Structure 1
């Protein structure tokens, strides 16, 4: 009689890849389309539009002379008309977000990012406690409701509250879907799918300008980018719970149902399924809980800050994540301020997301993490500075397209860097604090994304040259700081704090 092999991983039974995993991956990738819609829509529901005072002062149109528009605001102009040649309705003209109310438009996006940060914490805890699939149900249903609420908002306060809640739910759903993918596929495919997972964002990025062009009323645009999520609720019915989560929580009956369905869909043999399940359960109940608890008690970020080399690495990583997020969203959300057609600019910026998501996967195989990230930050910074000689607000063809082209090149470089630092950060932290380390760095990036929307307001009063100098200066400064990080390519990743200290010390110079 043939002996059943020892089964330690669920993928030993269901396989590392098959139609069962493909269903989960396609669901998770395609629903990220809505993440791009919700995160980047501010460019279309709060665009830079012209308006003029009608208090019998003059037939003056703002947007061409920032100082004059500011003077009219100071003089107490009460009646304004807005240019509706492109957008029929925006939150700018709907609630008169000009003069002393101008910052409210940017605040809506900052509040979205605050909600995003909170959602990562709240739903991360809930997902670990109640499972991946229940949280997907809750976040998608509430996400649809929050989207409808923002589309039907009666005032700017209502709109901002809805957007804050939407940001919380969107990130909660995003992280839960990402976790589901990583827990359903085999280790051989995990890194590749981690990059492919971002393609849903890129697709949504490209589709958004088309939706906005066809629906120039911001309420209609929000409805069109929210209601289709109902289809993904239907799809969710056939999405399984994470088998790894079921193992971690000892839900063996549910696990057996999930595993048997996966084996059937992947067209694998069912002959030894019962004995394989018994072996899997035995392998995952033999570990020492006391040892796990002891190690977990030492797994906190304070341990990192007590170690000098890891402390240096952590502070540099905080800065790197902040700069990447600030520059990336600063360019993405304000692409219309570089001149030219907003819809075309946005589409090109979205298309750039595809190579900036895929090329890093190839580059990190042949180039060290440290020189690669540093080089990308230098290139991004120099690209931003190179835009300045072409002028900041002129609209001639000879200056607009070089300015847009160079700005998009800068966005490509920062996008590549953003994708690489996820991998790089996970490698510099030891196993015992890897999750909390990456999570804390991600929080630093949220600070950058919260500030980025106010770049539009800074541009109004200082001009694009100042904005680009900030982008360029920070990127180059970060490129310099990256040289003080350890090189992890070809290195065995650390498991303990002491091992990570040794890794950092060897690479200090």
Structure 2
């Protein structure tokens, strides 16, 4: 049988897969802690400076500044105020620069070396550098550690997302992907609660990083992705993982036997990885469109993005107190934010469905890289108000509309088989489904 048929046999979302998925989904709470850390540990409370001129020496500055609040942060410990205030934003920017690099690095590595070893390496160094941030003796070490936390946290979370997809049957990818993004939002709320009660920044950083140690130790029990093993031609190992899943699903007497994967990647295959996204015409076209969509799952992304763009443009056209409650600019802006968030959730799932298993993480990494660029540029959009109060809404509106219509150029993936290798893209979806029916008819005959 092929892999999709094997998942139907062992169970697409049985008890064992639910436990594996729940573990990786809960990991997003830790990912959210690291992503939001600088928001609280970098907070600058109100302060009073009893000098008109800023002293050059930090020791002198410490004698003349008084902070009003009772919480500590890197700003209060290292006096990152006035001419040094930019260092808080710099630490945040270094983290997001690390995310960008991590997405580029870890995606192709996990496609080449395997999901589990790359994931374990990422979460190990994520925890190490997280503790370095908590105990950093000076700002420079703190900022550098945040850069490396960004690399490992971004790459590790990308691989863990793909694992939640590849442990289960394709019909449950939307569920596991949505749960992952939902739990990340819950993690942000939990981190805010921690920050409310823990007022000392080093202790907050220590507590926020400690769940990572727990997840790292338990991650050794995770199996390798059966889809990745199958795409690499390691059929026997893929069968063992599927057998392990079947046992956990209560199917002890089940025997799984996979057919050899056509076009499986060889160990010396130099064309696998990011280069395949450029060389292969179908992947190249998909990557260009997806990169644009990510910077601003199924084709339902189109409706969400178009609605978001329309909401932005209506917000631009309506004055604050006109149009009634349901057509007020504030309500339309909130609707736009809701639909953009929905589209962002779906695009993760849709992107993973569009790429074959052998380059799935590489594709997700390259596409999410453009999302990081969008995050860097987004803070500058409000400055366009100097050209007119409606200009930022025009920029966001056009981006949403154009991204939504570009999605129409991509294929639908609902109820379609997942490509395991690049060679699978040469065969049309219709032909793949037709061949399955012919083979089934021959077996019945």
- Is the alpha carbon distance of 1:136 and 1:300 closer, same or farther for their aligned partners in structure 2, counting shifts above 3 Å? closer
Instruction: For residues 91-129 of structure 1, give each alpha carbon's deviation from its aligned partner in whole angstroms, at most 9, with x where no partner exists.
Output: 122222222222221111111111112112222233233
1:417 and 2:372 equivalent?
A: no
- Please state if 1:284 is matched with 2:216: no
Counterpart for residue 487 of structure 1: 408
Aligned length: 409
Work out the CA distance in 2 between the residues paired with 1:433 and 1:257.
23
| Whole-angstrom CA distance in 2 between matches of 1:127 and 1:432 | 9
Asked if 1:376 is matched to 2:308, the reply is: yes
Structure 2 unpaired stretches of 5+:
322-327, 429-445
1:83 correspondence with 2:67: yes
Partner of 1:474: 395
CA–CA distance in structure 1, aligned partners of residues 201 and 265 of structure 2? 53
1: distance between equivalents of 2:354 and 2:229?
Answer: 30
Aligned equivalent of 2:434: none
Find the aligned partners of 1:295 and 1:146 in 2 and give their Cα distance: 33
1:52 counterpart SS class: strand
Q: TM-score, normalised by structure 1?
A: 0.66
Alpha-carbon deviation of 1:159?
Answer: 0.8
How do 1:211-290 residues align onto structure 2 when only pairs under 5 Å count?
A: 211-251=194-234, 254-255=237-238, 257-270=240-253, 272-273=254-255, 276=256, 279-280=257-258, 283-284=259-260
Distance in structure 1 (CA, Å) of the matches to 2:276 and 2:224: 27
The alpha carbon displacement at 1:250 in A equals 4.5
Secondary structure in structure 1 of the residue aligned to 2:71: coil
| 1:99 paired to 2:82 | yes
Displacement, 1:151?
Answer: 0.7
**CA-atom RMSD, angstroms?**
4.5
Give matches, 1:95-494, under 5 Å.
Answer: 95-251=78-234, 254-255=237-238, 257-270=240-253, 272-273=254-255, 276=256, 279-280=257-258, 283-284=259-260, 299-301=276-278, 310=285, 318-323=291-296, 369-380=301-312, 411-422=337-348, 439-451=365-377, 471-482=392-403, 484-487=405-408
Work out the CA distance in 1 between the residues paired with 2:10 and 2:303: 40
| Distance in 1 (alpha carbons) for counterparts of 2:27 and 2:118 | 14
Q: Give the SS at the match of 1:49.
A: coil
For 1:74-107, what per-residue CA distance to the aligned partner results, in whole angstroms no more than 9, with x for missing partners? Answer: 999963525342x511112222222222222111
CA distance in 2, matches of 1:474, 1:408: 17
Structure-2 change in CA distance of 1:468 and 1:410 (3 Å) = farther
Instruction: State the TM-score, normalized to the length of structure 2.
Output: 0.75
Tell whether the 8 Å contact from 2:292 to 2:370 is kept in structure 1 after alignment: yes
Q: Distance in 1 between matches of 2:317 and 2:37?
A: 27
Q: Distance in 2 between matches of 1:288 and 1:306?
A: 17
1:144-196 per-residue CA deviation (whole Å, 9 max, x = no partner) reads: 11111001112221111110111111112111211212111011111222212
CA separation in 2, counterparts of 1:152 and 1:467?
46
